[in-house]
Chains A and B, each alone.
Chain A
């Protein structure tokens, strides 16, 4: 069978730094093909060459056996290659219809846009996905899941032969992912190939036929997914021995071994407008407390309430010092930190350097008589770059140039530099590649061994099960049960969540 797309010997450098070297990729018609690899492995560069965003320095691209010369995104679209980027591929201010038909609008005989036909076509395509929305409304007024589906609708309306999905599920909940997967299966059934990029290995096994692994700008291997194991894939991605990884566990947190200390914080019967009804838990020194539950169960809300971000309508948060804890400023003064879920919106300041981003919250402490103690600042920053193995060309490099995993490490460093007693981590490894995830988890574990208390929120069961010393299971804003490590299995956690759901349904 001829490959739909065949890329061979692709090379690309940016300002002398090699991003791709002899990379290759072959996609068959109508298959779902995954690309995996750590951040910086060259996945996005390879895809951007295919979609005309970058031009290759070397190599050959063929479509159905004939050479393909694509230099702009438009040419790629016209050739039948549609891309759904994680972000910035749609215009949220404009209507759903406009986002689907933009650039390819149906025309009336006068050459003007035929809005009636455009709306009808958009409605018809979305209906095929089981989505029924008002297509004249602003795209931005709909959920991320709908927006993703609209992006796919655009691809379908352009008669794409290949749909590239870059981290398509990273901001969707389980049910939305199900819908997305059924759409992917539908595309496949109608002969459209899908190139799927994801950090979640589980997804691969659910919908992908073949997988290509990349590392350091090169293609390592391509396998049939059915013939691979998760461990094998991870070892190929990291370039490490499988047995070595197995010994360490798939995550580096491994909870339940330390001896927790005294109670630092006690939350009792929390109730808030944000959705908490009756949540109680304690956090002790030297332990990681996980908050488990489905999306909307009140995990983030509980953390926000403890940090003084949301007002309580009932219940109380008691700090061991006896001091009041009603505002984030008080929380920080009491030695608490909160690494939020959305690092783009709440965390990094893109134009500032790594150094400035690390010491932002610390400046008051570094200031002596109105001037920042530069020497101490530099020493501190150097220490964290070293300790957290932040990959940067220097502490003055703007943070926006770092990969997602390294940005996350910088944020972690920002909080650790404050030497907190309690650190709240909301999805600390989301959108971070497997290698950096591993590193971030070991840093956290090490800090905990030194006395830090962590409140961990994660939608990955694996991270919770292996990482937390205890897991407090939340459901509809109530804490319903508590599991103790060692001994928690993914099955046990899912069971605990499901069990209470059944009971509440009955």
Chain B
């Protein structure tokens, strides 16, 4: 665990890396432009919001909880960002993230202080945030002036290297990875999922850690809302439906136990990339003109794929366990 990197061979999340590498190789060999700068950049740009909410979700699930509100939070905060965009990115981004943190704080109050089961509590905020987004936007997309610097987030390159969206995502991921692996707070998060009573008995600050994960997940939802608004040039009150399930899928594909206590940030990112890649590859396949799959069929295929990866995951985990014993 000392050098617990993103990649942990033989661990419970080995399968996701194997499949991810295999899919990238498949794509590179089969499609000419798959490895091109444009595809990579637009792929990461589009999937940044899913990666960010998945990582936030990972923390919540590690404590044995769940956050169903993230998709609605992203929709709500994309509208907030759109309204704030005339004041510039320096206002819109923190504003939207703050809105997300606030909803996360509400979740924390429900779950930690009022002891409402997380499934119910976050279901309530999911509906609330969804409604809120529709109310403040009048159920319309709130378009953002393309002239404003806010929409440059996904295009303008930081330090002439990578688009800001990708840089921000990388910073969030690495930061949270350090929090989980190398701080007392992160270890407490893992301990809670492994046994909440035991953690209390050990004198760990269980409530603080639980408040942290819900607020964090809300903040991640807020960040995703910013990416959503800037990427599409509009606040999208109707978006975000089912995102929480994609996020949960990414976390689970990454080998994190739904009951908590075990999992990693790196594998969650891999899980999110993997789910995104399925669409990416199917798009390329469609582009070859041999077959043509509708978006609905793509979803079916993604579902089937998810199932296969999870089977492989548990198979590999069992085998690596057998080898060490």
Whether the pair B201, A73 counts as a contact (CB closer than 8 A) is yes
Q: Which residues in B have their C-beta under 8 angstroms from that of A98?
A: 1, 187, 190-191
Residue pairs across A and B with Cβ atoms less than 8 A apart, 6 shown, are A76-B203, A94-B190, A103-B188, A103-B202, A113-B184, A137-B324
Whether the pair A97, B1 counts as a contact (CB closer than 8 A) is yes
Docked complex: B206-249 residues within 8 A CB-CB of A = none
Whether the pair B2, A93 counts as a contact (CB closer than 8 A) is no
Residue in A73, A113, A136, A141 whose beta carbon sits within 8 Å of that of B187 in the complex? A113
Residues of B participating in the A interface, judged by any CB pair closer than 8 Å: 1-2, 178, 181-184, 187-188, 190-191, 193-195, 197-205, 257, 261-262, 324-325
- A103 to B181 CA separation, bound complex (whole angstroms): 14
Residue in A85, A115, A154 whose beta carbon sits within 8 Å of that of B1 in the complex? A115
**What is the size, in residues, of chain A's interface with B at 8 Å between Cβ atoms?**
33
Residues of A participating in the B interface, judged by any CB pair closer than 8 Å: 53, 72-78, 83, 85, 88-95, 97-98, 102-103, 105, 111-113, 115-116, 119, 136-137, 141, 154
Chain B interface secondary structure, helix, strand, loop or mixed? Answer: helix
Name the CB-closest residue of A to B2. Answer: A115
Q: Which residues in B have their C-beta under 8 angstroms from that of A72?
A: 203
Whether the pair A88, B198 counts as a contact (CB closer than 8 A) is yes
Known interface pairs A94-B194, A102-B202, A103-B204; 4 further A-B residue pairs with C-beta atoms within 8 A, sorted by A's residue number:
A89-B198, A92-B194, A113-B182, A119-B2
Name the CB-closest residue of B to A94. Answer: B194
Residue in A83, A95, A119, A137 whose beta carbon sits within 8 Å of that of B201 in the complex? A83
Whether the pair A102, B325 counts as a contact (CB closer than 8 A) is no
Whether the pair A93, B1 counts as a contact (CB closer than 8 A) is no
- A113 to B185 CA separation, bound complex (whole angstroms): 10
Whether the pair A90, B261 counts as a contact (CB closer than 8 A) is no
Whether the pair A102, B204 counts as a contact (CB closer than 8 A) is yes
Q: Which residues in A have their C-beta under 8 angstroms from that of B181?
A: 113
Q: Which residues in A have their C-beta under 8 angstroms from that of B201?
A: 53, 73, 83, 85, 88-89
Q: Given that A83-B201, A103-B203, A136-B1 are contacting pairs, would A91 and B191 also be in contact in the complex, using a CB cutoff of 8 Å?
A: yes
- A73 to B201 CA separation, bound complex (whole angstroms): 6
Whether the pair A93, B203 counts as a contact (CB closer than 8 A) is no
Whether the pair B202, A93 counts as a contact (CB closer than 8 A) is no
Q: Given that A94-B190, A136-B2 are contacting pairs, would A141 and B204 also be in contact in the complex, using a CB cutoff of 8 Å?
A: no
Q: Which residues in A have their C-beta under 8 angstroms from that of B204?
A: 74, 102-103
Name the CB-closest residue of B to A83. Answer: B201
Q: Which residues in B have their C-beta under 8 angstroms from that of A105?
A: 184, 187
The 4 closest A-B pairs by CB, nearest first: A74-B203, A91-B194, A93-B194, A93-B261
Name the CB-closest residue of A to B201. Answer: A89
Q: Which residues in A have their C-beta under 8 angstroms from that of B202?
A: 73, 77, 89-91, 102-103, 154
Minimum CB–CB distance for B211 against chain A, Å: 17
Q: Which of B193, B201, B204 has the most CB of A within 10 A?
A: B201
- A111 to B202 CA separation, bound complex (whole angstroms): 21
Q: Which residues in B have their C-beta under 8 angstroms from that of A97?
A: 1
